[in-house]
């Protein structure tokens, strides 16, 4: 796990698996932690790591309900987990699914946790809408397509966009069984003007990007979605993301659309 400051009031903590990012935002003495790392030792270290940097969370937020984004309550069990309305709908319509997926993934990775995942108190927030942090407002924007739910957060005071599992420099667009190619395209269209307003884009997986790099990734993702819609079995993938694993993801995408 590593931590880097991308703004005086924003720290990005990256897990050692899947390069999963958690973002701590600070304003007016309040701190919100967006998403989470994966491993138990990383979660155990989070309170001390953030406290030493002056970022003790008062609130948690998950960009969507995939298990690798909702683990922060292991580190901060007393805090309420905020989610967008679509994520609340997904959690309520699939009771226990997040816990089952985490249990299965932990079994694959030989991970032992101190106890089962409990989502605890959940706070549903309207999307599109705003979230107050200290004296500022963070914009909440719909970001479905990868899954049936999703929220992108724009913290303009810090020049930071947290799009969830979009605009990754590691992964091509990935459609889950509840996702949709059309919704993915719509999310990229919504993200484009948000990227223009940001200085740093922190995807759910991968390194923080500059505005220019994020716009390039967005164009590459649109080109990939065009190839996916045409049903190409061996499309040209972006050079930095042309790997065996991304080819496997492409096969999964094709299977979902077939």
Instruction: List, for residues 45-96, the tens digit of each pLDDT value.
Output: 999 999 999 999 999 999 999 999 999 999 999 999 999 999 999 999 999 9
- Percent helix, strand and coil across the chain, each to the nearest 5: 40, 25, 40
Residue 245 makes CB contacts below 8 A (sequence gap 6+) with none
122 pLDDT above the threshold of 90? yes
At residue 258, the pLDDT reads 85
Residue 91 makes CB contacts below 8 A (sequence gap 6+) with 65, 83, 98, 119, 122
At residue 223, the pLDDT reads 97
31 pLDDT above the threshold of 90? yes
- Report which of 6, 10, 21 is spatially closest to residue 71, judged by C-alpha positions: 21
For residue 173, name the pLDDT band (cuts at 50, 70, 90). Answer: very high
**Distance from C-alpha of 14 to C-alpha of 3, rounded to nearest angstrom:** 6
At residue 124, the pLDDT reads 96
22 pLDDT above the threshold of 90? yes
Quick one: which H or E segment has residue 74? helix 72-75
Q: What SS3 state is found at 194?
A: helix
What's the mean pLDDT in 202-207? 96
Residue 47 makes CB contacts below 8 A (sequence gap 6+) with 56, 75, 76
Q: Assess contact for 45 and 16: CB atoms under 8 A.
A: no
Radius of gyration (Cα) for the chain, nearest Å? 17
Query: 186 preceded by cis ω (within 30°)?
Result: no
Residue identified by tokens 């484009």 is 192
What integer best gives the mean pLDDT of the chain? Answer: 96
What's the mean pLDDT in 95-103? 95
Percent of the chain beyond pLDDT 70? 100
Residue identified by tokens 């701590």 is 24
Give, in degrees to the nearest 5, the angle at Cα 186 between 159 and 133.
30
**Distance from C-alpha of 136 to C-alpha of 106, rounded to nearest angstrom:** 38
The structural domains of the chain, ordered by start, are 2-168+193-211 (3.60.15.10)
Cα distance from N-terminal residue to C-terminal residue, the chain: 38
At residue 121, the pLDDT reads 87
239 pLDDT above the threshold of 90? no
Sign for the CA dihedral angle at 63, 173, 255, 258 comes to positive
At residue 135, the pLDDT reads 87
At residue 120, the pLDDT reads 85
What's the mean pLDDT in 92-111? 95
How many CB atoms neighbour CB 28 within 10 A? 11
Burial class for 222, CB neighbours closer than 10 Å (0-12, 13-18, 19+): middle
Q: Residue 34: phi, psi to the nearest 5?
A: -100, 125
For residue 214, name the pLDDT band (cuts at 50, 70, 90). Answer: very high
DSSP annotation of 80 reads P
């Amino acid at each position: 796990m590593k931590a880097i400051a991308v703004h005086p009031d924003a720290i990005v903590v990256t897990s050692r698996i899947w390069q999963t990012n958690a973002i701590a935002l600070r304003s007016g003495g309040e701190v919100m932690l967006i998403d989470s790392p994966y491993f138990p030792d990383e979660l155990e270290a989070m309170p001390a790591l953030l406290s030493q940097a002056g970022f003790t969370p008062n609130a948690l937020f998950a960009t969507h309900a995939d298990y690798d984004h909702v683990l922060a309550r292991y580190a901060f069990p007393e805090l309420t987990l905020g989610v967008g309305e679509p994520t609340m709908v997904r959690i309520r319509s699939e009771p226990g699914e997040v816990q089952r997926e985490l249990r299965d993934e932990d079994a694959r990775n030989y991970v032992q946790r101190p106890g089962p995942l409990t989502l605890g108190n959940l706070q549903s927030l309207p999307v599109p809408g705003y979230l107050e942090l200290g004296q500022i407002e963070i914009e909440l924007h719909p970001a479905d397509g990868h899954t049936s739910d999703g929220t992108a957060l724009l913290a303009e005071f810090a020049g930071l966009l947290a799009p969830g599992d979009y605009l990754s420099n590691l992964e091509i667009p990935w459609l889950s069984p509840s996702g949709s190619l059309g919704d993915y395209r719509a999310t990229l269209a919504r993200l484009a003007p948000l990227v223009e307003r940001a200085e740093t884009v922190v995807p759910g997986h991968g390194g923080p990007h500059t505005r220019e790099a994020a716009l390039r990734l967005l164009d590459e993702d649109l080109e990939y979605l065009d190839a996916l819609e045409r049903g190409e079995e061996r499309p040209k993938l972006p050079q930095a993301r042309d790997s065996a694993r991304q080819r496997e993801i492409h096969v999964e995408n094709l299977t979902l659309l077939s």
